[in-house]
Amino acid sequence: MSHGAFERTHAAAEDRYEHVPYRRAGRSGLDLPAFAFGLWQKFGTDHPYETQRAIVLRAFDLGITHFDNADRYGPPHRAAQQVFGRILATDLAPYRDELVLSTKAGNPIGPSPYLKGGSRKSLLNSLEHSLRDLGTDYVDVFYHHRPDPDTPLEETTGALADAVRQGKALYAGVSNYSPEQAHEAAGLLRAQGVPLLVHQPRYSLFDRGPELNGLLDTAKADGFGLVVYSPLAQGLLTDKYLQDIPAGARAANSAFLKPDVIDATYRERAAALNGIAKERGQSLAQLALQWVLRRPEVTSALIGASSVWQLDHNVRALDFPPLTDEELERIDEHGVHGTGLRL
């Protein structure tokens, strides 16, 4: 994608590092913002570019320097990277050294056997395309998007390590790995002199997998950080679905959230959590974001946004006092693993 025709340049806010705290990623030397911005949804060709640009630039002005992408994000596949590449070329190029850009490969993006999986060919070919999409010489973090049981993990981690050694990525990551797979990957990467920087699992009040399966402990033992996705459970941990499903909401048109999960049990639990949030003077979304960030093993929570207002609202979760032990006990009563989700 050519970016040469675009003329605009953004002057970043001078106070951009005064809003969001930074946290160390595992035992690395890298600090990451407590919120990372994800382009998983709303950044394809089916949404207006000016809105996408405004959200990304506002995120950077708030101190969110970490932008998370993947070859699969769109629609169509690769579109979200191309959108970000356009914003980088027109507005953020002067700030490239202040950005942490991550991308992923391995989830299917086409029928070819080379457009999926964890083979060396799939991963390194995808990375070359991603660098062109983004219009940059390197990404800061290159992830394997999900485990591939049909490819030796030695080959997958070898490709990640080579991407780092070639200077096309600065760090290696994995996503959606079980604790056992992450531990093995961390060991293989460490042996190649390229430590595992981060793991990206799903984690929220309604999806406590990392607590239940031991991933939090594995992260601490192996020294990698966690960048958790879906901390709002696809919108279930907001006030959007407390009454019914609004027209145009994700549950009405998304492959990731189906209307039938929004049942009486979900509404009862979400309403109780919403009540706790109101007592604290915050929204359910802000409570849910604070909750995932309470764990020291969590480096960052990935947030998306469909508007600048929504982005600002979520970032303000950082402004509230820490959750007390009593509040956490009450939250545990209603934040039940599996609520509203197909796990």
Rounded Cα gap, residues 257 and 341, in angstroms: 8
- Under the phi-then-psi rule, with left for phi > 0, alpha for psi from -120 to 50, and beta for the rest, what region is 84? alpha
What pLDDT score was predicted for residue 258? 63
What is the percent of the chain with per-residue pLDDT over 90, rounded to a whole number? 89
Q: What is the pLDDT of residues 210-269, one digit of tens each?
A: 999 999 999 999 999 999 999 999 999 999 889 876 566 655 555 555 667 888 899 999
Closest CA to 37 of 6, 75, 71, 63: 63
Number of domains in the chain: 1
Dihedral of alpha carbons 167, 170, 175, 181, sign = positive
Is 46 inside a domain boundary? yes
Work out the average pLDDT over 279-295.
98
Closest CA to 165 of 187, 137, 193, 199: 193
Work out the average pLDDT over 172-197.
98
Rounded Cα gap, residues 278 and 243, in angstroms: 17
What pLDDT score was predicted for residue 246? 57
Residue span of the structural domain in which 233 resides: 18-241+286-324
pLDDT bucket at 22, cuts 50 / 70 / 90: very high
Is 339 inside a domain boundary? no
Residue 305, amino acid:
A
Is 335 inside a domain boundary? no
Is 197 inside a domain boundary? yes
Is 333 inside a domain boundary? no
- The CATH number of whichever domain residue 50 belongs to comes to 3.20.20.100
What pLDDT score was predicted for residue 153? 98
Is 190 inside a domain boundary? yes
Closest CA to 35 of 191, 232, 245, 214: 232
What pLDDT score was predicted for residue 5? 52
φ, ψ (nearest 5 deg) of residue 264 = -65, -40
SS3 sequence of 262-293 = CCHHHHHHHHHHHHHHHHCCCCHHHHHHHHHH
Is 269 inside a domain boundary? no
Q: What is the pLDDT of residues 314-338, one digit of tens each?
A: 999 999 999 999 999 999 999 999 9
What pLDDT score was predicted for residue 1? 43
Place of tokens 């101190």: 63
Q: Is the pLDDT of residue 2 over 50?
A: no
Q: Which of 51-60, 109-118, 141-150, 258-267 has the lowest mean pLDDT?
A: 258-267
Q: Is the pLDDT of residue 161 over 80?
A: yes
Q: Are strands 225-228 and 298-303 parallel, antiparallel or unpaired?
A: parallel
Mean pLDDT of the chain: 94
What pLDDT score was predicted for residue 251? 55
Q: Please answer whether residues 199 and 174 qualify as being in contact, where contact means their C-beta atoms are separated by less than 8 angstroms.
A: yes
Q: Is the pLDDT of residue 8 over 80?
A: no
Q: Where are the alpha helices (DSSP H) in the chain?
A: 49-61, 79-87, 120-134, 153-165, 179-191, 209-212, 215-222, 250-253, 264-279, 284-293, 308-315, 325-334
Is 201 inside a domain boundary? yes
CA 51-340-237 angle, 5° bins: 45
What pLDDT score was predicted for residue 334? 98
What pLDDT score was predicted for residue 254? 53
